[in-house]
Amino acid sequence: MHCTVVERELELRLILSPERSVPVPARLSYRTDDPYAVHISFHINSEQPVHWTFARELLVEGVFRPCGHGDVRVWPTKASGRSAVLMALSSPDGDALLEAPTTLVSAWLERTLRMVPPGSEAEQLGLDDALHQLLAR
């Protein structure tokens, strides 16, 4: 099965306090062979990039309204008069609050949604075909 990847380089803001943030180069990735997930890689003063994977649906919903709980929470906001998406990420290694421009995230999400529309993700995995082949034996 052919895999297509949709990527977007962008600059996130790591929020350190209400008045202080630092730029963080990041990459959004979506793979048709992992159709339910989005992947974010970013550098924050470490040798290796930090990778996070979570549900594409969570990011889609988070552009419009607060959602998620636990390790990943996403919600829209206004920052310096611009629309932004905030992502709160928690792990045993620490917590991070990241801000991304809504226009860039939305445009990238639109590309992923055109490629694999919501509700059609399972078709990308080929589970029905594999099960059919297995049962045909």
Structural contact between residues 43 and 30, judged by C-beta atoms closer than 8 angstroms: no
Residues of the chain predicted below pLDDT 50: none
pLDDT for the residue 103: 96
3-state secondary structure the chain: CCCCEEEEEEEEEEEEECCEEEEEEEEEEEECCCCCEEEEEECCCCCCCEEEEEEHHHHHHHCCCCEEECCEEEEEEEECCEEEEEEEEEECCEEEEEEEEHHHHHHHHHHHHHHCCCCCHHHHHCHHHHHHHHHHC
pLDDT for the residue 93: 84
Name residue 71's amino acid.
Answer: D
pLDDT for the residue 39: 97
Structural contact between residues 13 and 22, judged by C-beta atoms closer than 8 angstroms: yes
pLDDT for the residue 126: 64
The two tokens of residue 85 are: 């998406």
pLDDT for the residue 127: 58
Residues 6+ apart with CB under 8 A from 93: none
The two tokens of residue 12 are: 């996130």
pLDDT for the residue 24: 94
pLDDT for the residue 1: 58
